[in-house]
Structure 1
Amino acid sequence: MNYTEMVRKYLEYCEFRKELDSNTLKAYRIDLRQFFEYTMEDIPGKEKIEDYITELHKKFKQKTIKRKIASVKAYYNFLEEKEIINDNPFRKIKVRFKELVILPRIIPREEIEQLLNFMYAQENKSNVKAHKFWLRDIAVIETLFATGARVYEISNIREDSVNLNTGLIRLMGKGGKERYIQIASSEILDVLKNYYKENSKEIKQSGFFFVNNRGCRYTEQSIRLMLKKYTKLAGIERIITPHMFRHSFATYLIEEGVDVSCVQQILGHSSIKTTQIYIHVAAKKQAEILRDLHPRNRMNILKFVA
């Protein structure tokens, strides 16, 4: 069996047995294609794999390298599990990375407030069609910030995944992992109820909760373009992406004293290490508070002379 057929079987296994999402499958497909285009062998050995890893370090950033190696490693684990290979070369390959702390970009609270206020001010009930789409866009942005969900999770929410009575939403995250998020704000829940009421016909036909003007799923790219439009119209110069709402959601919760393990569960992170990055961002805010508001700043204490 050549590598093309083996990769096809592996991706089928990932899709139907492991139930991985389409984005993960796409990344695996690209990474494995690049690996075999470089190695030109059906089952490359340790030496070829190490050459490939060296080549990755010449071309890509650390995060991308990690993902591409992980894709190939997962494939070899599959080959070993299916007894296509007896000796997995990855057991003898050690790759070390320097851990870089890249702080997530967040949206200042005042800009979130500015954006939402602008969007709410655009309500126009006289135009029925425009009002339906305005409700949808408000609902999407409010849901992004209320849940900290990824944009593809929002885009793929099914109608039967939303309970408008309790405010409970079922999300499908990375690797097809399911989690539930509570919409705790009655105001946001009212927005979702009104949106559903105005768009129920299209929602029921498509099966998706958020729909576009053709009654189909409101795609990730459409959400990004919608956010870009409103950000510009609201007079905000900063480029705001949907994922920045996720970063902001997590950072502001931690600033308010929410335990990091609780934030991890809400975000759907498999490892708490991923969530701990937000502690670094929240610490910057803590430093500002202590610098500006610590009571010692207002005490009359003699200056230290070195």
Structure 2
Amino acid sequence: MNGESLRLPDELQQPLQRFYEYLRSEKGLSLYTRQNYQQQLMHMAAYLADNGVMCWQQLDSAWVRQLAAKGMRDGIKASSLATRLSALRSFLDFLVLRGDLTANPAKGVSAPKKKRPLPKNLDVDEVAQLLEVNEDDPLAIRDRAMMELMYGAGLRLAEMVSVNVRDIHLGLGEIRVIGKGNKERKVPFSGQAVIWVKKWMAVRGQLAHQDEPALFVSSRGGRISHRNVQKRMSEWGMKQSVASHISPHKLRHSFATHILESSHNLRAVQELLGHENISTTQIYTHLDFQHLAQAYDQAHPRAKKKRKS
């Protein structure tokens, strides 16, 4: 790093040093964050100097795109490249603030989009295996009720933890939840989810404090924590010998995938999951397509692999 800084022209180096001091004294950023900014900016400044850029006023959007292209050629991950360009935008904003630049040439240049990983889900048999919990212990009844409700209604972990007793309407098969952005929605649930929530309600008083509003409580009587739910579901996955790791998110993903496979109604799945934008829900169409493609490969006469005679 020191060698690189010595090779930089003063017109590139000195504004960088002023920016690092600005991050320390005025922005109050941690040493780790400042070092990360410095590392990213030095990589770019060294490349610019090697290619004849002697001062930041020479930088335009074409140079910024070239920096992004170099990062891609070097095999930098999309997330790391986004971090690098973000550091550059912040630095150039600083130069605009000081009056050294009239505009930020990095504003219109975005990093390539990160590949969005497909959510992992359980197949129907794995869900059935997980939910074969028939113990009489109140904690086991609570845990099955939580898992049945999460899979039966597609709730987020935070939504389920925040549900109060008054939010459940067993007769209507309806639950009121507060989702992201503090938005309220009503979600239907039925079948085993209703049965096991009723069983839990019958024994809940053995654990819950008298004035506790939460539907699901811990062994100490208060509202159950996110971490406790994650831990218990993981333990049940191992206890029930399910091959996949069990998590609240995986049950929600399984709910969405299974509903979409059966109904092919993306808009309904969007409403049930509480997604504001349909684009968020569309990730499940990729899972559904994988399912359809596999069925095609297995069933279509011209797609079947020839068997060895």
1:108 corresponds to which of 123, 127, 152 = 123
Look up the match of 2:178: 172
Look up the match of 1:151: 157
- Which aligned pairs between 1:3-22 and structure 2 lie closer than 5 A? none
Q: Deviations over 1:262-299 (max 9, x none)?
A: 111111111111110111011111011112234x3699
2:226 corresponds to which of 220, 229, 233 = 220
CA gap 1:63/1:268 in 2 versus in 1, 3 angstroms: farther
Greater CA drift, 90-99 or 173-182: 90-99
Look up the match of 1:191: 196
Query: Could you tell me the TM-score, scaled by structure 2's length?
Result: 0.64
Q: Deviations over 1:118-170 (max 9, x none)?
A: x12xx23xxxxxx2212111100000101111111111111211112212111
Look up the match of 1:15: none
Distance 1:53 1:169 in 2: 50
Task: Confirm whether residue 39 of structure 1 aligns to residue 23 of structure 2.
Answer: yes
Task: Confirm whether residue 236 of structure 1 aligns to residue 251 of structure 2.
Answer: no
Compare CA radii of gyration and give the structure with the larger one. Answer: 2
Q: Deviations over 1:47-94 (max 9, x none)?
A: x9xx69967x9999739969xx7xxx9xxxxxxxxxxxxxx9899454
Q: Answer yes or no: is the 8 Å Cα contact 1:158–1:208 preserved in 2.
A: yes
Task: Confirm whether residue 263 of structure 1 aligns to residue 269 of structure 2.
Answer: yes
CA gap 1:137/1:280 in 2 versus in 1, 3 angstroms: same
Q: Answer yes or no: is the 8 Å Cα contact 2:154–2:273 preserved in 1.
A: yes
Give the aligned length: 232
The letter of the residue matching 1:153 is E
Distance 1:37 1:223 in 2: 44
Q: Deviations over 1:28-54 (max 9, x none)?
A: xxxxxxxx998346579xxx9xx6996
Distance 1:98 1:248 in 2: 26
Distance 2:256 2:104 in 1: 39
Q: Answer yes or no: is the 8 Å Cα contact 2:78–2:114 preserved in 1.
A: no
The letter of the residue matching 1:169 is I
Q: Answer yes or no: is the 8 Å Cα contact 2:81–2:111 preserved in 1.
A: no
Task: Confirm whether residue 272 of structure 1 aligns to residue 278 of structure 2.
Answer: yes
Q: Answer yes or no: is the 8 Å Cα contact 2:141–2:196 preserved in 1.
A: yes
- Which aligned pairs between 1:60-209 and structure 2 lie closer than 5 A? 62=79, 92=107, 94-117=109-132, 119-120=133-134, 123-124=135-136, 131-185=137-191, 187-200=192-205, 202=208, 205-209=211-215
Q: Answer yes or no: is the 8 Å Cα contact 2:157–2:249 preserved in 1.
A: yes
Distance 1:64 1:98 in 2: 10
Aligned-pair Cα RMSD in Å: 3.9
**Larger RCO of the pair (alpha carbons < 8 Å, separation 6+):** 1
Distance 1:247 1:100 in 2: 18
Q: Which runs of 4+ in 1 moved over 6 A?
A: 57-61, 63-66, 88-91
Distance 1:203 1:97 in 2: 51
Identity among equivalent pairs (%): 26
Distance 2:80 2:177 in 1: 25
CA gap 1:205/1:93 in 2 versus in 1, 3 angstroms: farther
Distance 1:274 1:64 in 2: 23
2:288 corresponds to which of 282, 285, 289 = 282
Look up the match of 1:247: 253
CA gap 1:38/1:164 in 2 versus in 1, 3 angstroms: farther
The letter of the residue matching 1:177 is K
Distance 2:291 2:147 in 1: 24
Query: Could you tell me the TM-score, scaled by structure 1's length?
Result: 0.64
Structure 2: any 5+ residue segments left out of the alignment?
A: 1-19, 29-33, 42-67, 91-102
- Give the deviation of 1:213 after TM superposition: 1.0
